[in-house]
Amino acid sequence: MPKLWNETIDAHRAAVRTAVMDTTAALVAEHGLASVTMSQIAKESGIGRATLYKYFPDTEAILLAWHERQIGGHLDLLVEARDRAVGPGERLKAVLEAFALISHESRRHHDTDLSAFLHRDQHVTEAQQRLHGMVRDLVAEGVRTGDLRGDIAPGELATYCLHALTAAGDLPSKAAVRRLVSVTLTGLRPDDTP
């Protein structure tokens, strides 16, 4: 097959997958995890059930693919935030603020069956490890430059930051989220008292 034809088919398949994932996420948000059927998804996506089954075996597989895409997007945002900032302190602040804002904006599904289902998957664990590693490395860089405290291991400080900032999901505004980031960063500063 010509290259252009293959690219067109691949683009079409990607568009169908995206439409199915987005439609499923919207239906589950509206009706609940247990109420959505493959027939509904096919109908709302504008494709036949047989076509839908060529892409996904069931609703759960669609939701896991959607969530994996969401997590990948979040990790990309964190990397972009890190890479835009200059200096160890600013890079750490940018990543922590981006993480806290993501936590704040995704609070809509924290206490649902959907959240419990999605967060038990392996890709979540892998993403958490990548995030922890990114923050740990930024903290270690700040320790080397003397900007951050060196009396506690960078991995422990990364854990402290990430756990503290998950509270952003319960905050009422972005301004409150930024204040939480500021308080968290204060805990990382070197202790100058004798």
H or E stretch covering 97: helix 88-105
In this structure, the dihedral spanned by the alpha carbons of residues 177, 183, 185 and 188, taken in order and rounded to 10 degrees, is: -150
pLDDT tens digits along 118-158: 777 778 889 999 999 999 999 999 999 999 999 999 999 99
State if pTM tops 0.85: no
* Distance in angstroms (rounded) separating the CA atoms of residues 23 and 39: 12
Alpha carbon 163 to its chain's center: 15
pLDDT tens digits along 57-116: 999 999 999 999 999 999 999 999 999 999 999 999 999 999 999 999 887 554 466 766
pLDDT tens digits along 31-64: 888 889 999 999 999 999 999 999 999 999 999 9
Alpha carbon 50 to its chain's center: 31
Confidence tier at 194 by pLDDT (50, 70, 90): very low
Residues 126 and 157 sit within 8 Å (Cβ to Cβ): no
Nearest Cα to Cα of residue 127 among 60, 56, 75: 75
